[in-house]
Amino acid sequence: MAYKVEKATQIADNIFELWINAPHVAKNAHAGQFLVIRIDDSGERIPLTISAAKEDLVRIVFMTVGKTTTYLSKLKVGDEILDVAGPLGHPSEIKEWGHCVVIGGGVGIACLPILAKALQDAGNRVTGIIGARNEKLLLLADELEENCDELVICTDDGSRGFHGFPADILKQKLEDKNIDAVWIIGPAIMMKITSMATIPYNVKTFVSLNPIMVDGTGMCGSCRVTIDGETKFACVDGPEFDAHLVDWDELMNRQRIYPEQEKQSLELFHEHYCECGGHHHE
């Protein structure tokens, strides 16, 4: 069974949104979970966070970084994806916390709408903080406004909203008001720095370690992380963990393992992909 692309849109610089018809995922999806897709027989499997689910459709949002995300970005409405496996991973810890802050950096913002809505539905007050390098990389702000009681937008260059980083806003909020739980989703360095802000206040802080996954089923071992001194797998034990227990230095070292292979793979893809929408068969 193949899965049809129902909607394909570019929503920011190098960032794309696909709505895929995958009823079994959409019906069972919860905030914090992800899916693994394989475009065709010769494709690699890549994990992508579930950004939204509606009726039979599930949304993924991704930035074109390597070969597979570049290929995904070329798909149009009516095209098919061979495999969509999910939902995978443990859902976010949704309960009545009180005042929750959800923070997204870059393409990590895509994980927030489903999370903010679930937290609101559980009776929480939700503050959203989103940050990107510039205005062109901001995404889903309008949608997040609907699912947050308050939304603060930051840009590194000041092109929109607050000139600075989500960590700056979080520090301010922690000083000003009572916060009961925080979720941070984005690049590893951003999650590390931002989560340090909550340590003095002893506020429960979750991070999503999706960026380090490859296989998504616990078999390949590339998403090994050390949590409170114990080895865990982000895909089957997470992807969300207590930010204050993550060995961030080890995690960021692991992220530097594959860049050369990813670069070669992308170069080969560009050589063999023709802009008419397919591969050259050689």
Which residue positions form the known binding site for [2Fe-2S] cluster?
Answer: 220, 223, 235
Q: Is 32 helix (H, G, I), strand (E, B) or coil?
A: coil
Beta bridge partners of 60: 18
In angstroms, the CA 137 to CA 186 distance is 13
In angstroms, the CA 223 to CA 212 distance is 5
Residues 137 and 13 sit within 8 Å (Cβ to Cβ): yes
Beta bridge partners of 8: 18
In angstroms, the CA 203 to CA 206 distance is 10
Residue type, 76: K
Residues 16 and 185 sit within 8 Å (Cβ to Cβ): no
The residue among 135, 134, 238 whose CA lies nearest residue 185 is: 238
Residue type, 75: L
**In the block, residue with structure tokens 């994990």:** 47
Q: Which residue ranges make up the annotated binding site?
A: 220, 223, 235
In angstroms, the CA 65 to CA 261 distance is 12
Residue 215: count of CB within 10 angstroms of its CB = 18
